[in-house]
Structure 1
Amino acid sequence: MSDEKGEGGEEATGSGHDALGEQQRAVLRRAIRLEWITLGWMSATVALVALVAGQSQAMRAAWAEDVLSLLPPIAFLVASRRIRKRPDRHHPYGHHRSIGVAHLVAAIALITMGGYLSIDSVIGLVEVERPPIGLTVIAGQAIWAGWLMVAVMVVTSIGPVILGYKKLKLSEQLHDKVLFADADMSKADWSTAVATIAGVLGIGLGLWWADAVAALVVAVSILRDGVKNLRGSIAGLTDVEARTYDDAEPHPLTLEIEQRAAETPWVRDVAARVRDEGHVFHAEVFVVPHPGSAPTTEDFAELRDRVDELDWKVHDIVIAPVDELPGMQTFRSTLRT
């Protein structure tokens, strides 16, 4: 028995967009607006940082991170459009997994660039590179170019931090791991700015190694974000147990589904297998009827509807009657630890 009921009782198309309730659609629209704002802000940031970067390794690393910061918003916007497509013969579950694919692409890009910048920074330390920061003329006044770098880093770091905290709240409401990864990177952007500013000021104080060390700090930050997101994206695409939007713990809906099914009078035993499809969950509920009971198709439909009422994320539900739960006991005990 699968859930084919959409919003307001209408037939569902199976797309992630149609699986969202009106409240979640409003949240998605806000998230899309924030991502477009992020793209605009980060594009301007990339141009400004490139303009003043000079020979500073820290500034070049910060520029690379800013370029990479464009990937999660782009991935989110592409995935948000992709999930609107209707299921077809080749994609019977719809296109919910576009969210997971977008997450994976962003993670690989982060790891690649983080690894490259880490190696480049270490080489700079080993070869004792001394990046020059000269003077620049503004309105007829000659000033140290490092002050321009510091000013650009301070100004450009404000937007991502604010946008990051706004997107963080929306990612929880949407159960969107790409949006969460983007928000997590954005709200921590101040640390990149601080490291870069420290590196530039270190050059001004004659500490040649400060620039390369700051670049290494930024590179390690990028690499850490990449590894964290790669781990989460692969886990989602390989059908691990459904977890919360931040991957902090198993999602409580799995146990709630089992508890809801166990309340049914004709159900003797139950185990649920829940798969995270992106914004929504696909749930297989295995039920063992009491001996002598003869549940009808209406009973199964009623149970399906009761499970469906738990949460908007429970979108695609299969009720499977079985004689026993072979191999499921270990799975269930794991969920309860």
Structure 2
Amino acid sequence: MSGPSRVARFGNTELPPEQEAALRRARRLEWVSLAFLTSGVVVVYLVMGNSQAMKVAWIEDLLSLIPPLAFLLATRRAGRRPSVSHPYGHHRVVGSAHLTAAVALLGMGLFLVFDSGSGLLAGEHPPIGTVQLFGQTVWTGWLMIAAMVYTGVFPVILGRRKLPLARDLHDKVLYADADMNKADWMTAAAAIVGVLGIAYGVWWLDAVAALVIAGSILHDGVSQLRGAVRDLLDGEARTFDDADVHPVVDDILEAAHSRAWVDRAGCRVRDQGHVFHTEVFVVPVGPLGAEQCDELAEAIGRLDWKLDDVVVAPVGALPPGVRTRPRAATES
């Protein structure tokens, strides 16, 4: 399969022009992110010295490389068509990438909380020396602060540009990356506070700043792990940010209930990555032909580009665990 065809589809789903353009932009942004983050990792490593906050900020910068790499690999693999050995396609690679990034964040967050906390309890007083730069003696703290400004501003811009693309593509790995990018200014600010604390003799500010950064990493890891596990365990399809059940679920039920030949209807919609696998169960009023089921499946498939695999099954009774009414109707 050629490169352009991978970009234009996820499995059997051909991307609409808007999503195809969003995917191209997202891939470009992730390559830019990798280049910038790599430079940031090098810069921070060169100046971090003995500061606990700077060390934790450097580790967070290293972790920030995981989501862009996961996104680029996942979108490439998700473009493969279904086969006999993979009848549902390769969409689950997105969930696997999401889980990988979440576990890395959670594990590193736990380690850094322990490391920073033990440093605070031990009362470590990290020194910050000076260096010779262009014939001048420069306090290393200024270099640390400059490095934090460098690594803290640009990712925020990248994160804000990635967020709408994550929504358009329904890509939770890209959303996790954008969310981390947007929070990078807090990491930079905390590290700067820690460095200034050392400069003014308030040694414990460095360890507290490190704890704040570590807590942010841990929080991201917990929230991302919860969403990744829910999707891999076939939880009901939710929005790209996991804030709520995806509104297309209500649209599917409304479409099914709008048919005169349908007495009762229910659906199961699971998130496979970028696309949804949809099972619609209908209890017909009377005798039912295959043409009616096919027409309803096609109509539901046109509701949203993410409805990749729609199956309409006539049943005598609705199975347990299906959503049977649009939430608006249920709540009214």
TM over 0.5: yes
Distance 1:120 1:227 in 2: 18
**In the TM superposition, what is the alpha-carbon distance from 1:232 to its structure 2 partner?**
0.4
Distance 1:259 1:183 in 2: 33
Measured at CA, do residues 231 and 328 of structure 1 come closer, stay the same or move farther in structure 2, by a change above 3 Å? closer
SS at match of 1:235: helix
User: Are residue 85 (structure 1) and residue 80 (structure 2) matched?
Assistant: yes
User: Are residue 302 (structure 1) and residue 295 (structure 2) matched?
Assistant: yes
Distance 1:16 1:115 in 2: 37
> Could you say which residue in structure 2 is the equivalent of 1:174?
169
Task: List runs of 5+ in structure 2 lacking aligned partners.
Answer: 1-7
Contact 1:103/1:233 (8 A) holds in 2: yes
Distance 2:107 2:179 in 1: 19
Contact 1:167/1:180 (8 A) holds in 2: yes
**In the TM superposition, what is the alpha-carbon distance from 1:295 to its structure 2 partner?**
2.5
**In the TM superposition, what is the alpha-carbon distance from 1:307 to its structure 2 partner?**
0.6
Contact 1:14/1:94 (8 A) holds in 2: no
**In the TM superposition, what is the alpha-carbon distance from 1:328 to its structure 2 partner?**
4.6
**In the TM superposition, what is the alpha-carbon distance from 1:16 to its structure 2 partner?**
3.5
Distance 2:97 2:319 in 1: 35
Distance 2:49 2:267 in 1: 57
Using the TM superposition, name which of 206-215 and 65-74 deviates more. 206-215
**In the TM superposition, what is the alpha-carbon distance from 1:327 to its structure 2 partner?**
2.2
SS at match of 1:85: coil
SS at match of 2:234: coil
SS at match of 2:264: strand
**In the TM superposition, what is the alpha-carbon distance from 1:87 to its structure 2 partner?**
1.6
**In the TM superposition, what is the alpha-carbon distance from 1:95 to its structure 2 partner?**
0.5
User: Are residue 73 (structure 1) and residue 82 (structure 2) matched?
Assistant: no
Q: How do 1:24-103 and structure 2 match up within 5 A?
A: 24-103=19-98
TM-score (norm 1): 0.92
> Could you say which residue in structure 1 is the equivalent of 2:121?
126
**In the TM superposition, what is the alpha-carbon distance from 1:312 to its structure 2 partner?**
0.6
User: Are residue 316 (structure 1) and residue 309 (structure 2) matched?
Assistant: yes
Q: Aligned letter for 1:47?
A: V
Provide the identity percentage: 54
> Could you say which residue in structure 2 is the equivalent of 1:332?
324
Distance 2:12 2:35 in 1: 25
Measured at CA, do residues 274 and 69 of structure 1 come closer, stay the same or move farther in structure 2, by a change above 3 Å? same
Distance 1:192 1:104 in 2: 23
Distance 1:40 1:168 in 2: 19
SS at match of 1:188: helix
Distance 1:334 1:232 in 2: 23
> Could you say which residue in structure 2 is the equivalent of 1:256?
251
Measured at CA, do residues 55 and 122 of structure 1 come closer, stay the same or move farther in structure 2, by a change above 3 Å? same
Task: List runs of 5+ in structure 1 lacking aligned partners.
Answer: 1-12
**In the TM superposition, what is the alpha-carbon distance from 1:332 to its structure 2 partner?**
3.3
**In the TM superposition, what is the alpha-carbon distance from 1:155 to its structure 2 partner?**
1.7
**In the TM superposition, what is the alpha-carbon distance from 1:18 to its structure 2 partner?**
3.6
Q: Deviations over 1:102-131 (max 9, x none)?
A: 000000001111111111111111111111
SS at match of 1:273: strand
Distance 2:248 2:50 in 1: 52
Distance 2:41 2:326 in 1: 46
Higher-RCO chain (CA-CA 8 Å, sequence separation at least 6): 1
**In the TM superposition, what is the alpha-carbon distance from 1:178 to its structure 2 partner?**
0.6
Distance 2:103 2:85 in 1: 26
TM-score (norm 2): 0.94
Contact 1:14/1:93 (8 A) holds in 2: no
Contact 1:76/1:102 (8 A) holds in 2: yes
Measured at CA, do residues 182 and 297 of structure 1 come closer, stay the same or move farther in structure 2, by a change above 3 Å? same
Q: Deviations over 1:277-299 (max 9, x none)?
A: 11111100001110xx3222221
Q: Deviations over 1:156-197 (max 9, x none)?
A: 211110000000010011111110010011011100000000
SS at match of 2:324: helix
Q: Deviations over 1:35-69 (max 9, x none)?
A: 00000000000000000001111000000000000
Contact 1:58/1:196 (8 A) holds in 2: yes
Task: Provide the aligned C-alpha RMSD in A.
Answer: 1.6
Contact 1:281/1:314 (8 A) holds in 2: yes
Contact 1:271/1:328 (8 A) holds in 2: no
> Could you say which residue in structure 1 is the equivalent of 2:178?
183
SS at match of 2:267: strand
Contact 2:194/2:205 (8 A) holds in 1: yes
SS at match of 2:308: strand
